[in-house]
Amino acid sequence: MSTNRRLQQCTELEYILLGDLRDLLDEPADSETAHWLEAVLDALLDTLPEEFALKSDHGYLQDVLDRFPNWDSKVAELEEGYAKLFQRLEQLRDQLTHGGDFQRIAVNVSADLNEWMTNFIQHHQQERELVSIAASYDVGGNG
């Protein structure tokens, strides 16, 4: 399977998992919801590193850097942001697993997961915007 096809599958799976996560956060805070939240977070934690590895096959956003080497700080910031998002999701998964009674911690976990989803979506938008700008930028100054 091609790298592009597998990357597309990872992105589609993430989209589905984020939808599932959003739905679960609207469910009652009980042990069944906690179980399914753990399953969705585990799937995200499996998918995110694969997606990043595929995006980084020849270097993270290397196509952008090949064209605009001076954008290295923008790319580095996005790469660091990706790592922070992954670490935060791991922390939230641990909090869910080891935080005790889900009903007691549900409000905080739900708020934190909603914030994480917002940040994750914004990160993907920033990546797409940078790639789009690089692809359409006219080096002659008319871009």
Residue 90 lies in a domain: yes
Q: Quick one: average pLDDT of 56-61?
A: 89
Residue 91 lies in a domain: yes
> Does residue 57 contact residue 3 with C-beta atoms inside 8 Å?
yes
In angstroms, how far is CA 123 from the centroid of its own chain? 7
Residue 45 lies in a domain: yes
Residue 79 lies in a domain: yes
Residue 52 lies in a domain: yes
Structure tokens given for 105: 């911690």
Query: Is the per-residue pLDDT at 138 higher than 60?
Result: no
Structurally, the chain folds into a number of domains equal to 1
CATH number at residue 68: 1.20.120
Q: Domain of 45?
A: 1-138
Residue 143 lies in a domain: no
Q: What is the pLDDT of residue 105?
A: 87
pTM of structure: 0.88
User: Which runs of E-coded beta strand occur in 3-89?
Assistant: none
Residue 101 lies in a domain: yes
* Segment 7-58, tens digit of pLDDT: 999 999 999 999 999 999 999 988 899 999 999 999 999 999 999 999 898 8
Burial state string for 51-77 with b = 16 or more CB within 10 A and e = fewer than 16: bbebbeeeebbeebbeebeebeebbee
Residue 71 lies in a domain: yes
Query: Is the per-residue pLDDT at 131 higher than 80?
Result: yes
Report which secondary-structure segment, H or E, holds 58. none
Report which secondary-structure segment, H or E, holds 69. none
Query: Is the per-residue pLDDT at 142 higher than 70?
Result: no
Q: 3-class DSSP state for residue 20?
A: helix
* Segment 77-92, tens digit of pLDDT: 999 999 999 999 999 9
Q: Residue type for 7, please?
A: L
Query: Is the per-residue pLDDT at 93 higher than 70?
Result: yes
Cα 44 from Cα 41, distance rounded (Å)? 5
Q: Which residues contact 89 (CB under 8 A, 6 or more apart)?
A: 41, 44, 45, 48, 116
- Structure-model confidence comparison of residues 22 and 137, the more confident one: 22
